[in-house]
């Protein structure tokens, strides 16, 4: 039995003249949580839909839970759970009716489908809402029910496509909690997200996706090390001294970004406290007045720009 729960090699998918997937590779070990990180349109959802047998790819090898998605779609479907971007539920039916129906369609039999529905409602804190039609559910409740529906048969591989996009912070926390509770059970999880923080919190490994390809791959720490875990940003009072200030930051000059409009210089740093102290000292010694000096986490944009820039350099 192959050790990968998901194996993708050179997957391509074209829509008209646009390459949604342009030779995507992915290998996800069993029992791990893998994050697929990238902006809108990078190919994350296309990847999930192909893996979940909803969409056929044009070229390449795609295997899920040991079965080819083209020739063994039914085998794959028995072993996966899918949480799409939008709740895939019957809005008119109640929560329990939904879960019971999905249980029957997984061929659990009527009795087992009923007890499984009750178990899941209980587990996701929905036991007292099981009769209410889903269209009256809050966003967080809907997401939890959707997650419950994707766990009916205790899948080997679970796909979560932007599970928290559009949720408020509290509901987001609830979903994260639910995902974390699954991981102990040996489920393999593929999670797509636009949020670095989400991937950071949940994923063992992350693949950064851009224009249908994986441009970087590694543990969250490895990826963050590549872009610098934190940034120092300085807003300089006197715009004419911006360049001078840029030269004083405790990193190579090439790493420093200068934003003239905002009178701001910034750079990724490895040791945050030392870098902050050194910056304050150097600016003071040079007599450059700062309006603001801040340490902050890199944004996804920065991770992304950095990683895609590396990719371009490698190609050049």
Partner 1 sequence: MSAVGTTEAGAVRAGAGASPAYALSDCLTMTRRELAHWARQPVQVLVGLVFPVMLLLMFGYLVGGGRTVDGDYVDYLVPGMLTLTMVFGLEGTMTAVTRDLEKGVIDRFRSMPMADGAVLVGRAAADMLQSAVGLLVLAGVGYAIGWRATGGPASFLGALGLLLLLRFAMLWIGIFLALVAGRPELVQAVQILVWPVGFLSNAFASPDSMPGWLGTAVEWNPMSATATAVRDLFGNPGGEPGHLTAAVVWPLALLLLFFPLAVRRFGRLGK
Residues 20-39 that bind partner 1 (CB under 8 A): 30
Per-residue binding letters, 266-305, with partner 1 (x by CB under 8 A)? ----------------------------------------
Of the pair 93, 235, the CB lying nearest partner 1 is at 93
Residues 97-156 that bind partner 1 (CB under 8 A): 97, 101-102, 104-109, 112, 116, 133, 149-150, 152-156
Confirm if 207 and 39 have CB atoms less than 8 A apart. Answer: no
191 part of the interface to partner 1, by CB under 8 A: no
Residue 226 CA to residue 136 CA, distance in Å, equals: 45
DSSP lists the bridge partners of residue 233 as 266, 294
- Residue linked to tokens 């009769």: 131
Q: Which is nearer to partner 1, 121 or 246 (CB)?
A: 121
Q: DSSP assignment of 117-138, as one string? A: HHHHHHHTT-GGGTTSBGGGS-
For residue 7, the minimal CB distance to partner 1 (Å) is 15
With CB under 8 A as the rule, give the number of residues binding partner 1: 43
Contact letters (x/-) for partner 1, 60-89, by CB under 8 A? --------------x--xxxx-x-x-xxxx
Q: Which is nearer to partner 1, 156 or 302 (CB)?
A: 156
Among 54, 235, 282, 305, binds partner 1 (CB under 8 A): 54
The contact set with partner 1 (CB under 8 A) reads 30, 52-56, 74, 77-80, 82, 84, 86-93, 97, 101-102, 104-109, 112, 116, 133, 149-150, 152-156, 185-187
């Amino acid at each position: 039995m192959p050790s990968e729960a998901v194996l993708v090699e050179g997957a391509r998918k074209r829509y008209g003249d646009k390459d949604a997937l342009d030779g995507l590779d992915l290998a996800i070990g069993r029992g791990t949580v893998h994050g697929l990180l990238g902006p809108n349109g990078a190919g994350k959802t296309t990847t999930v839909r192909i893996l979940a047998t909803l969409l056929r790819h044009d070229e390449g090898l795609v295997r899920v839970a040991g079965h080819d998605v083209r020739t063994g779609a039914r085998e794959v479907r028995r072993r996966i759970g899918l949480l799409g971007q939008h709740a895939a539920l019957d809005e008119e039916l109640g929560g329990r009716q939904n879960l019971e129906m999905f249980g029957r369609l997984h061929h659990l039999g009527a009795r087992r489908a009923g007890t499984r529905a009750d178990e899941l409602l209980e587990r996701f804190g929905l036991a007292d809402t099981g009769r209410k039609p889903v269209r009256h559910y809050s966003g967080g409740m809907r997401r939890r029910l959707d997650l419950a529906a994707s766990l009916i048969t205790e899948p080997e591989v679970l796909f979560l496509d932007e599970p928290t996009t559009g949720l408020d912070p509290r509901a987001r926390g609830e979903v994260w909690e639910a995902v974390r509770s699954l991981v102990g059970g040996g489920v393999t999880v593929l999670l797509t997200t636009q949020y670095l923080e989400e991937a950071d919190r949940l994923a063992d490994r992350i693949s950064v996706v851009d224009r249908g390809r994986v441009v970087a791959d590694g543990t969250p720490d490895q990826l963050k090390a590549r872009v610098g875990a934190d940034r120092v940003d300085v807003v300089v009072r006197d715009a004419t001294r911006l360049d001078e200030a840029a030269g004083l930051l405790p990193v190579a000059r090439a790493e420093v970004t200068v934003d003239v409009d905002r009178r701001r210089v910034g750079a990724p740093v490895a040791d945050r406290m030392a870098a902050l102290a050194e910056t304050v000292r150097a600016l003071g010694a040079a007599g450059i007045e700062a309006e603001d000096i801040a340490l902050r986490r890199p944004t996804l944009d920065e991770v992304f720009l950095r990683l895609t820039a590396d990719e371009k350099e490698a190609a050049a």
